[in-house]
Amino acid sequence: MLTATDPSTGKLLHEVPAATPAQVEDILARAETAFKSWRARSYSDRAGVLLAVAKLMRDDVDRLAVLMTEEMGKPIKEARAEVIKSAWCAEHYAEHGEAYLQPETLASDATLSYVQHLPLGVILGILPWNAPFWLAFRYAAPTLMAGNTCVMKHDPHVPACAQAIADLFVQAGAPADIFQNLPLETPAVEAVIRDKRIQAVSFTGSEKGGGAVASIAASEIKHSVLELGGSDPCIVLADANLDEAADIITLSRIINAGQSCIAAKRIIVEAPVYDSLVEKLHERLAKLNMGDPREETTDIGPIARAELRDNLHGQVTASMEAGARCLLGGELPSGPGYFYPVTLLVDVTETMVASCEETFGPVAVVMKAENEEQAIAIANNSDYGLAAAIWTKADRGEAIARRLEVGQVAVNGIVKTDPRLPSGGIKRSGMGRELGPHGIREFVNAQQVWIGPKQGG
């Protein structure tokens, strides 16, 4: 049974039966059958489906947004933005997918030699709860545009979001079964990964989950793309625009109540401006409004589940016990729901839990560096390598970016995902890339074709 709970109240929303083995078999069989005809469709036909789905999302943004707010607590103004961004992703690949997959001619001893990009088959997407629509379309839009079919195993805590996404394709008149929702409890997904009809896996989620998925897929000689956790550093050097940096860092840290892989999680500040930036962050964080995610004035909604909030509070408490100073928040609130206050921890060091582990909540962690070299060393001292931000002069920031062990760097801006640009991590933050031209090429067969001299006759 898939159970959705309203995190703002702790009350049960609804329960959805998990797919039976017979239903799973039917879904996989239909996905494989649909692939045979979908792969033969023109890019224009595939684009038409994605554009129709995108239009439905834009026309029905309020209804779709509320599903996220109810099932995982995303503030309604952020939920609307997520629906719109998901539509943009579908539109982007509809408009650019064909160009991304154009054959590439390569010189050789052949009369003609080139690489063409062909679809693989049925691609399984295993998705988390924290951005239900965006992560679904980040996986599905390029996968479908490349000519594959999609089976989506969404997080069991957001079943209404998952079904709504699948319903969009039906409402848009898409060819039957090119995109299907697979409602499963997590332990049942291993058998699906191993099924011979699944050709590859896209996974977004925890480091532990990603390791399990990658191991299972590898044992079946299947490709997987993993977007896992992050403990993203944000370096602020003494020559930065501190007011602008404080504004953007505050936003980066509290979007989705801090439940984002690419949020600014370790704010590493050069000593001469440390006290000043701490003061500016405190001022901005203190003004944020935590409350009912359905209200337009709410900046911070609840943590998605009780056990996630408990883990977050444990990380905060352990760091304080190790010597971190808490200037804001840090205490569990009373009352219903799984709310956690905006928290500002300063004087955090590299051995503290808040630096070593990913903090998935509205907790700003500030660390001091004596100079640029130490800031880079602190930033790289992590098992994760998803993304980073740098605040300094642009040319200096660009030079530093080359020295950071991450898959994505923002200089004087917020780390974000963009359909036009590849995104992904290194180290324990994952492997492979999503989005941009790189993302659509993850789930294709890069087939080399060699053509010799013309035969006489």
The residue written with tokens 């295993």 in the block is 126
Helix/strand/coil (H/E/C) assignment for every residue in 230-260: CCCEEEECCCCCHHHHHHHHHHHHHHHHHCC
- Residue among 284, 274, 282 nearest 238 (CA): 274
Residue 98, judged by CB atoms within 10 A of its CB (0-12, 13-18, 19+), counts as: middle
Say which residues have a Cβ less than 8 Å from residue 258's Cβ, sequence separation at least 6: 359, 360, 361, 362, 363
Dihedral-angle region of residue 325 (phi above 0 means left; psi in -120 to 50 means alpha; beta otherwise): beta
Q: How far is CA 212 from the centre of its chain?
A: 18
Compute the distance between CA of residue 309 and CA of residue 313 in angstroms, rounded to an integer.
6
- Residue among 30, 1, 37 nearest 16 (CA): 1
**Hey, which residues are catalytic here?**
227, 261
Cβ atoms within 10 A of the Cβ of 197, count? 18
What phi and psi values does residue 251 have, to the nearest 5 degrees? -60, -45
- Residue among 132, 168, 142, 152 nearest 59 (CA): 168
Strand partners, 114: 105, 449
378, 367 contact by CB (below 8 A)? yes
Rg of the chain over CA atoms, in angstroms? 23
Strand partners, 364: 344
The two beta strands, 122-126 and 198-204, are parallel
Sheet with 122-126: strands ordered across: 179-181, 149-153, 122-126, 198-204, 223-227, 430-431
Cβ atoms within 10 A of the Cβ of 57, count? 25
Dihedral-angle region of residue 43 (phi above 0 means left; psi in -120 to 50 means alpha; beta otherwise): alpha
Q: How far is CA 241 from the centre of its chain?
A: 28
DSSP letter assigned to residue 334: P
Compute the distance between CA of residue 70 and CA of residue 5 in angstroms, rounded to an integer.
8
Compute the distance between CA of residue 252 and CA of residue 264 in angstroms, rounded to an integer.
6
